[in-house]
Chains A and B, each alone.
Chain A
């Protein structure tokens, strides 16, 4: 299992659009992807669960990834978390 914590830079937080991109990307990986924010852990392949986290700007988000291609998933998804989105 690999794990790393990122800070959300997007000024409006991690909203609908970035969540969509994140979940689509996450779903393409075979490994299990958990997203942890404010003490709550959800499935990174579920956009509804991701939205219920209400991830705001400057918050920390930890990715916990387990399984095939875990390192590659961590890098790709970590980058998405720290980018600026529409």
Chain B
């Protein structure tokens, strides 16, 4: 009978193969008294030395297969073998209690495992696996048994296990292992990270029911959807074989685009960047083929804490991001707080209409002390990469000029203090208030770039609160009013030789990209996961033709007419 289970898709892809179930039974040593503690400690040291050379071999092969970054975990394992609080504790226990090495190892390793598993932080809880991995290897050596089942697999299979240790994962024979499913784990567990770099499908956290699956059961796993089918019927099997063929092909095609520039079919170059909200997102952006960071939201530095972040703290974060992306550009947006984003410790007055109130730059200009701290941190960090600074929520020219004035004052102070500041920082503004879009020509001479924030621009243009579901029908990115505003901004910028980006959700929407390309948008900033498919799409589009289509769309009567028009052309083009 067919059974279906669900889990967390941790590494994408589809696999079809028979199950190999890895026993999760753990060896529990018995406590026995020993006569010669010195000899027992010697036996333990020997096992540690052998485990060390085994781990070193795995480390070297992981480095060759996966790169130095992924092999780092095994340096951590080697460090456990040298950790005084671990090794000395075991040896002391053997010596003081005159007990066998197996039991001493088990006790000490369990005490660390329990300590780590009780921690709040998910990443640290995950480190318990490292201790178990290393300890079970030493244990196997002490007992004189082979360590792992997984290195010797010879038949095509999907591995099903309670969890996979890092050394299990690194040693998987990729000629036969088609994917794996684990009972526990999350997207950030080691096995998940390893699966992504090995590029094999993985589903984690599928729950205890996976234990009931007998070995050699036929398994279909769709890690794109986190779906597992056991004993599929012929119809399902055929459907998934077909799905797998298409999926494999598509993945291979997209992977080829990772380090390529983004060019339309008729040769127009544009830039695809990533939106990020925390430092951990940067690696994902790079892995996804981002040509830069188009929107770095700085709110994470201010939220979830009790006081304002210091200049030093901010500087360290900005510097890190710039160095990591260098020479690729990083557009950092100054603080955008207010509206729906609150900072309790600032004790801002309650407003009747927070979205129309003192948010973002309006607040920063009212609290120059707070704003100057951020500007100084940004200016100091500019020496370490390709920084572009962007001001949010500008409605009138004076706001832009005031912000620039503060920036210049801080620059002058820093230079006078002898601090290094880049002289190539581009200054830009978000276009999210209709007044700024309509009169973009007034702003263009004063900026290096515009970035259109569609989420807010739509809500302000339509006068429709984006949190209010009763008016959600007015959230219409393709409405002619929006397209006309976008066109005004791009035209004004082009007249001054400036560039225009977009960092709202619309920029990564495959239905909007053709029109935006046609309107002449230069930079599309989106979530990292959309970059490769967007690059592929743009490569299929003829910009000159879409320029004509876009002009026609501007004269249409509404969203429906425009989306139907775009669909009909795309269907015609891509068949």
Within the complex, which residue of A20, A27, A56, A82 is in contact with B76, where a contact is CB–CB below 8 Å?
A20
Chain A residues whose CB sits within 8 angstroms of the CB of B86 once the complex forms: 46, 48
Chain B residues whose CB sits within 8 angstroms of the CB of A52 once the complex forms: 112, 115-116, 119
Cβ of B121 and Cβ of A43 under 8 Å apart? no
Chain B residues whose CB sits within 8 angstroms of the CB of A54 once the complex forms: 119-121, 124
Report B66-121 residues with CB < 8 Å from chain A CB: 72, 75-76, 79-80, 82-86, 112, 115-116, 119-121
Cβ of A51 and Cβ of B280 under 8 Å apart? no
Within the complex, which residue of A15, A20, A45 is in contact with B124, where a contact is CB–CB below 8 Å?
A15
Chain B residues whose CB sits within 8 angstroms of the CB of A58 once the complex forms: 305, 313
Interface presence of B521 (CB below 8 A)? no
Tell me the complex Cα distance, A49–B127, Å. Answer: 12
Chain A residues whose CB sits within 8 angstroms of the CB of B76 once the complex forms: 16, 20, 47
Cβ of A46 and Cβ of B317 under 8 Å apart? no
Tell me the complex Cα distance, A2–B244, Å. Answer: 63
Chain A nearest CB, measured from B509 CB (Å):
30
Cβ of A47 and Cβ of B80 under 8 Å apart? yes
Interface presence of A80 (CB below 8 A)? no
Tell me the complex Cα distance, A72–B425, Å. Answer: 38
Shortest Cβ distance from B128 into A: residue: A51
Cβ of A45 and Cβ of B84 under 8 Å apart? yes
Within the complex, which residue of B83, B116, B119, B121 is in contact with A46, where a contact is CB–CB below 8 Å?
B83
Chain B 119-138 per-residue mask, 1 if CB under 8 angstroms from chain A, else 0: 11101100100010000000
Chain B nearest CB, measured from A14 CB (Å):
10
Tell me the complex Cα distance, A12–B282, Å. Answer: 13
Chain A nearest CB, measured from B531 CB (Å):
22
Cβ of B127 and Cβ of A16 under 8 Å apart? yes
Chain B residues whose CB sits within 8 angstroms of the CB of A49 once the complex forms: 83, 85
Chain A nearest CB, measured from B119 CB (Å):
5
Report A1-29 residues with CB < 8 Å from chain B CB: 9-13, 15-17, 20, 23-24, 27
Question: In this complex, which of B120, B123, B313 has the most chain A Cβ atoms within 10 angstroms of its Cβ?
Answer: B313
Chain B residues whose CB sits within 8 angstroms of the CB of A13 once the complex forms: 121
Tell me the complex Cα distance, A17–B283, Å. Answer: 15
In which size bucket is the chain A interface?
20 to 34
Report B262-315 residues with CB < 8 Å from chain A CB: 278-280, 300-301, 305, 312-313
Tell me the complex Cα distance, A6–B72, Å. Answer: 27
Chain A residues whose CB sits within 8 angstroms of the CB of B115 once the complex forms: 52
Q: A46-B85, A48-B80, A49-B85 are in contact. Are A84 and B121 (CB under 8 A)?
A: no
Shortest Cβ distance from B279 into A: residue: A11
Chain A nearest CB, measured from B462 CB (Å):
36
Tell me the complex Cα distance, A55–B379, Å. Answer: 29
Cβ of B116 and Cβ of A51 under 8 Å apart? yes
Interface presence of B320 (CB below 8 A)? yes
Shortest Cβ distance from B75 into A: residue: A20
Chain B nearest CB, measured from A19 CB (Å):
9
Tell me the complex Cα distance, A17–B320, Å. Answer: 15
Chain B nearest CB, measured from A32 CB (Å):
11
Interface presence of A83 (CB below 8 A)? yes
Tell me the complex Cα distance, A61–B318, Å. Answer: 23
Chain A nearest CB, measured from B390 CB (Å):
20
Chain A residues whose CB sits within 8 angstroms of the CB of B278 once the complex forms: 11
Shortest Cβ distance from B305 into A: residue: A58
Q: A23-B79, A46-B83 are in contact. Are A12 and B280 (CB under 8 A)?
A: yes
Chain B nearest CB, measured from A18 CB (Å):
12
Chain A nearest CB, measured from B521 CB (Å):
32
Shortest Cβ distance from B304 into A: residue: A57
Tell me the complex Cα distance, A84–B112, Å. Answer: 27
Tell me the complex Cα distance, A17–B131, Å. Answer: 16
Tell me the complex Cα distance, A32–B86, Å. Answer: 17
Chain B residues whose CB sits within 8 angstroms of the CB of A82 once the complex forms: 316
Interface presence of B319 (CB below 8 A)? yes
Chain B 323-340 per-residue mask, 1 if CB under 8 angstroms from chain A, else 0: 000000000000000000
Within the complex, which residue of B80, B124, B305, B316 is in contact with A84, where a contact is CB–CB below 8 Å?
B316
Chain B nearest CB, measured from A16 CB (Å):
6
Cβ of B123 and Cβ of A16 under 8 Å apart? yes
Listed A/B pairs (9) with beta-carbon separation below 8 Å: A9-B313, A10-B316, A11-B317, A12-B279, A45-B84, A47-B83, A51-B127, A84-B316, A84-B317
Ranked nearest first, the 10 interchain pairs of A and B with the lowest CB-CB distance are: A46-B85, A84-B316, A84-B320, A52-B115, A49-B85, A9-B316, A9-B313, A54-B119, A46-B83, A48-B83
Interface residues of B (CB under 8 A from A): 72, 75-76, 79-80, 82-86, 112, 115-116, 119-121, 123-124, 127, 131, 278-280, 300-301, 305, 312-313, 316-317, 319-320
